[in-house]
Amino acid sequence: MLSILMVSCSQQITSTPPSTLTPEGEVAYESIRIDNDDPSWWDNAIFYEIWPRSFYDADGDGSGDFDGMTSKLPYLQELGVNGIWLTPVFEAPSYHGYDFQDFYSVESDYGTMEDFEEFVSAAHEHGIKVILDLVINHISDGHEWFQKSAAQEPGYEDYFIWKKEIPKHWGKAWADKEDNSQAVWHWNEQRGEFYYGAFGPTQPDVNLRNPKVVDEMNKLATFWLEKGVDGFRLDAVRYAIEDETVDGQDADQADTDATIIYWTQFSQHVKSINPGAMLVAEAWADMPTIGKYYDDGNGLDSAFDFDFGYVVSGILNAGGERSADFGTVKDGEEDNTRQALWANLKSRKATAPISFFSPFLTNHDQNRIMHTLGEDWSKAKLAATLLMTTPGTLYMYYGEEIGLSQYATGDDQYRRAIMQWEDNDAAGFNDTGEFWLDQSKWFPWIKEHKPWWEGYWQSQRANKNASVDAQAANPDSLLNHYKKLLQIRNDHVALQFPNEIRYYPVDNMNAWVVQNIKDEQKRLTLVNLNPEAEARFPVPKSLRGEYIDLLSGNKITLAEEFTLEAGQSLIL
């Protein structure tokens, strides 16, 4: 008799251990139902995160720029992405830009406002949306607001959070009840008081309990929406508004009720300007915490699913270190089996609509996936397949499609290295051989030490597969694997956002067998999670038949048993 586990949206999802076939040739499966009758444009989008300083340098000064990004839009269109997330492009004193000094000016290293506007317009002509990284939690201590507040100019006294004495029981906001007030309260000589800065003394937190500051942030969003951008990636949403210590208890510095309310109100303002604008939250936390920002459908549109990338890297590189620079991750032993992939889907479903969560492999605050996977091209292809066949708004970090890696761990710039366009001394980044990574204005210690770029690029070129040009010419390259995956996902609604996902826990634990169903369309994904050994498994009776593999174009027959080659992926 057919053994099936079916669940609706409102029912609890139960776990099924690996099961042998019944005499009728079937295996129990689990199912998730997904209701999304009125999808937004971003629900099926694939975004490409660009670190502008490293992407392409059109004027040769060592920093990537707007003109450079504009010139690469045909590449991104051919790749198949339909959205771009730009990390900060506002004027800032740092190389990374997360400490805005002027909300209404673009970073001069990247070009002019006219260059920016031309980039956004050109992106739209290529069918690509653009969202900007927006940091509302904190700004640069060089911003005029902070200077006026430190001088206690009328109207600016409370633009930031000031104390005459350091409060007790505070610490780094993303640490678990850390009692280290000196880490976040910083002395200002001019005012003679301490100010709160969760991310360091040069990045003071603004006071979002002050209605004037809230109005300023709304004006900021309006300004850029009217420039034509399609939404914002919201940095550090968890830390917007803190609660004071009470009765000697630790301060509540993350995910407060006031923080949730603030972002819901900000979202309402954004929608009043552009109902089609998209807001995605960086809430580096567990699923239940992230889900708070959905706020019963009244809050933000989406949030990054950090767990997905950890699950994929854990399965493909079991034992790899799990870390969070500006957030929290679960402690303890993790499940590094295929069951973790299904658990990730179930946790999304249990917390908020699956469409709320945006899976990705890595971003600019994490070690690159290629480095984590030990420079293994087979594992990188598996990671790509798992990403492109999971539901929701997807994000790629620039260079992931060519296996861009990093020279070492420890310094953030290793994760944010130059995009590799050509196999030459400058990696096709520019014609001058200038690189911001080796400029002493950003890294003063370079004057005394050998720049690291040369050794890094030589290490990347050693395998002769590092650049876009080299991989474009190789049909079996990671780049071409990504192109196929993106085309398949863009062409098949069952992979973008299915009505139902069925997971078949077949006997071989290396076999990931999932069927996506959207109305009459069905797509079956088979992945051998082991890049070093075959995976043979009994095929559920309902899945047997003749197929065409969308990745290779080959005819595939699923009989009573089937064998996946080492690291093989099929989309049928």
Catalytic residue annotation:
235, 282
Going by C-alpha positions, the residue among 519, 525, 528, 479 that lies closest to residue 502 is 525
Burial (CB count within 10 angstroms: exposed 0-12, middle 13-18, buried 19+), residue 177 = exposed
Long-range contacts of 321-329 (CB under 8 A, 24+ apart): 323/366, 324/174, 324/284, 325/284, 325/365, 325/366, 326/174, 326/199, 326/236, 326/284, 326/365, 327/174, 327/238, 327/283, 327/284, 327/285, 328/174, 328/176, 328/284, 328/285, 328/286, 328/289, 329/284, 329/286
Alpha-carbon gap, residue 196 to 158, rounded angstroms: 12
Note whether 319 and 345 are within 8 A (CB): no
DSSP of 421-490, one letter per residue? -SSSTTTTS-SS---GGG-TTT-GGGGTS--SHHHHHHHHHTTS--SHHHHHT-TTSHHHHHHHHHHHHH
Number of neighbours of residue 276 by Cβ within 10 angstroms: 11
- Separation in Å, CA 256 to CA 52, 244, 253: 33, 11, 7
3-state SS, one letter per residue, for 474-508: CCCCHHHHHHHHHHHHHHCHHHHCCCEEEEECCCC
Number of neighbours of residue 481 by Cβ within 10 angstroms: 22
Note whether 72 and 55 are within 8 A (CB): yes
DSSP of 166-186, one letter per residue? PPSS---TTSSS---GGGTEE
